[in-house]
Amino acid sequence: MNKHRLNQLFERARNEPAPLPPEDFAADVLRAIRREPRAAAPEAFSMLDQLNLLFPRIALAAATVIVLCVVVDWGLTAAGMPGLGDGLSQISAQWLLTPDESLL
Amino acid sequence: MNDDAELLARIRNGATDDFAGIVRRHQARVFSILHRYERDTHKVEDLAQETFVKAWRALDQFDGRAPFEHWLSKITVRVALDHLRREKRRQNEIGLPELGEDALDWLRSDGEKNELDARSAAELLDLAMRELSPLDRVVITMQEMEGRSVKEIGEATGASGVAVRVRALRARGKLRRALEKLMKDENEQTQAEPTV
- pLDDT digits 0-9 by tens, B44-85: 999 999 999 999 999 988 888 889 999 999 999 999 999 999
Our CA-based measurement puts residue B196 at a distance from the nearest CA of chain A, in whole angstroms, of 31
Domain ranges of chain B: 1-91, 93-196
Say whether B145 and A10 touch across the interface (CB within 8 A): yes
Say whether B60 and A12 touch across the interface (CB within 8 A): no
Say whether B49 and A28 touch across the interface (CB within 8 A): yes
Give me the pLDDT at residue A21, please. Answer: 94
Domain ranges of chain A: 48-97
What is the average pLDDT score of chain A? Answer: 80
Is the confidence at residue A93, as pLDDT, over 80? no
State the SS3 of chain A.
CCHHHHHHHHHHHHCCCCCCCCCCHHHHHHHHHHHCCCCCCCCCCCHHHHHHHHHHHHHHHHHHHHHHHHHHHHHHHHCCCCCHHHHHHHHHHHHHCCCCHHHC
Give me the pLDDT at residue B45, please. Answer: 96
Is the confidence at residue B195, as pLDDT, over 70? no
Is the confidence at residue B97, as pLDDT, over 70? no
Closest chain A CA to residue B58: A39
What CATH code is assigned to B93-196?
Answer: 1.10.10.10
Residues in B closer than 8 angstroms to A3, CB to CB, are: 176
Give me the pLDDT at residue A43, please. Answer: 47
- pLDDT digits 0-9 by tens, B111-140: 566 678 888 889 889 988 988 999 999 999
pLDDT bucket at A45, cuts 50 / 70 / 90: low
Residues in B closer than 8 angstroms to A26, CB to CB, are: 20-21, 23-24, 27
User: Does this model's pTM top 0.80?
Assistant: no
Give me the pLDDT at residue B111, please. Answer: 59
Provide ipTM, 2 decimals: 0.79
Average pLDDT over residues B31-49: 95
Give me the pLDDT at residue A100, please. Answer: 62
Closest chain B CA to residue A29: B49
DSSP annotation string for chain B: -HHHHHHHHHHHTT-GGGHHHHHHHHHHHHHHHHHTT---HHHHHHHHHHHHHHHHHTGGG--SSS-HHHHHHHHHHHHHHHHHHHHHHTPPPP-STTS-HHHHHHHHHTTS-----HHHHHHHHHHHHTTS-HHHHHHHIIIIIS---HHHHHHHHT--HHHHHHHHHHHHHHHHHHHHHHHHHHHHHHHHSPP-
Give me the pLDDT at residue A42, please. Answer: 46
Q: Which fold has domain B1-91?
A: Rna Polymerase Sigma Factor; Chain: A (1.10.1740)
Residue B59 near residue A38 (C-beta atoms within 8 A): yes
